[in-house]
Amino acid sequence: MATRTAGDLTRPVLTAHGVARAFGPTVVLAGVDLAIAAGETVALLGGSGSGKSTLLRVLAGLDDEATGEHVLHGTAAVVFQEHRLLPWKRVADNVALGLAGPGVGVRVDRALAEVGLADRGRAWPAELSGGQAQRVAVARALVREPDLLLLDEPFGALDALTRLRMQGLLRRLRAEHGFAALLVTHDVEEALLLADRVLLLDDGVIAEEVPVDLGPAPRPDDPALGALRRRLLDRLGVPTA
Ligand SMILES: Nc1ncnc2c1ncn2[C@@H]1O[C@H](COP(=O)(O)OP(=O)(O)OP(=O)(O)O)[C@@H](O)[C@H]1O
């Protein structure tokens, strides 16, 4: 497998300039500039309440009250921390939500197979485990063949083992489909394992940008990984010494 390198920003899938958002007197985003290249994975890290989810919602077009500019060159799909499946619709119907046309059934079946749930299309959401439900949410995003996947703490509610499996699934799907991703996370380890670049949100702006060039499968004791981990944790105010 080739080493992942930061993407070509002359071919961005998303650009944002001066994105700002306040809730009443509280300024949460104070002028965010960022660009994501086609096929690139960018992790957005920041302390609790730093505005990560707010930024993701703005970039997803889900917040009308933000100011500034953001342009999506292609299509995007969002996966949230909660699976947001409709309990009264079967799994396959949840994945197909909003899609129409003769090929939809085949596309839904393929997306479910890709997340390892080929046999659960007729199940109800309540019959699934947390990890399975989140895989359905990933299938629902995938079936739209997005150029950009916006992921808001997508594995945050899962147990550690399921979380590791989901990270592996995301890596595999990204290699197969080539979508770009913006991954909101508080988990420094997850950011370093999945992203080509980490952005740190602090005081309403991108305060730091850290390219991650660790090769496809860095060992946990890789010194370069350790150095990046320490740098990010320090920046987040978590002492490592
Ligand atoms: N709809 C809203 N109304 C009022 N305040 C809001 C609203 N949404 C977010 N906020 C505030 O904006 C700030 C940023 O919230 P946001 O959820 O974006 O942070 P976050 O970095 O994603 O946090 P966490 O990592 O804890 O999920 C917080 O102070 C939050 O209380």
Q: Is residue 22 part of a domain?
A: yes
Closest residue CA from atom 29 of ligand 1: 49
Q: Is residue 234 part of a domain?
A: yes
| Amino acid 123: pLDDT | 96
Q: Is residue 215 part of a domain?
A: yes
Residue 201 CA: nearest ligand 1 atom is: 21
Residue 152 CA: nearest ligand 1 atom is: 22
Closest residue CA from atom 30 of ligand 1: 49
Q: Is residue 118 part of a domain?
A: no
| Amino acid 161: pLDDT | 86
Ligand 1 pocket member 65 (CB < 6 A): no
Ligand 1 pocket member 204 (CB < 6 A): no
Residue 140's nearest CA partner among 88, 103, 190, 86 is 86
Mean pLDDT of the chain: 90
Q: Is residue 146 part of a domain?
A: no
According to DSSP, the residues that pair with 14 across neighbouring strands are: 36, 72
The residues near 30 (Cβ < 8 Å, ≥ 6 apart) are: 20, 203, 204, 205
The answer to whether 147 and 75 are in contact (CB under 8 A) is yes
| Amino acid 109: pLDDT | 93
Most ligand 1 atoms within 8 A of CB, residue of 54, 58, 202 to mutate:
54
| Amino acid 208: pLDDT | 92
Q: Is residue 5 part of a domain?
A: yes
**CA pseudo-torsion sign 204, 209, 214, 216:** positive
What's the mean pLDDT in 127-150? 92
Q: Is residue 211 part of a domain?
A: yes
Domain count, the chain: 1
| Amino acid 27: pLDDT | 96
Domain residues for the domain of 229 are: 1-74+187-241
153 φ/ψ sector (left φ>0, alpha ψ -120 to 50, else beta)? left
ipTM: 0.97
Distance from the alpha carbon of residue 99 to the mean position of ligand 1, in angstroms:
31
Ligand 1 pocket member 203 (CB < 6 A): no
Q: pLDDT tens, 65-123? A: 999 999 999 999 999 988 899 999 999 999 999 888 888 999 999 999 988 999 999 99
Closest residue CA from atom 2 of ligand 1: 23
Virtual CA dihedral for 95, 97, 103, 108, nearest 10 degrees?
A: 0
Rounded Cα–Cα distance for residues 235 and 42 (Å): 17
Q: Is residue 142 part of a domain?
A: no
Ligand 1 pocket member 32 (CB < 6 A): no
Q: Who wins on pLDDT, 156 or 109? A: 109
What's the mean pLDDT in 175-200? 92
Ligand 1 pocket member 10 (CB < 6 A): no
In this prediction, residue 202 has a pLDDT band, given cuts at 50, 70 and 90, of very high
CATH number of the domain bearing residue 17: 3.40.50.300
What's the mean pLDDT in 61-66? 94
Residue 6: pLDDT over 60 = no
Residue 64: pLDDT over 70 = yes
Look up residue 42 and give its two tokens: 């960018």
In this prediction, residue 3 has a pLDDT band, given cuts at 50, 70 and 90, of very low
Ligand 1 pocket member 23 (CB < 6 A): yes
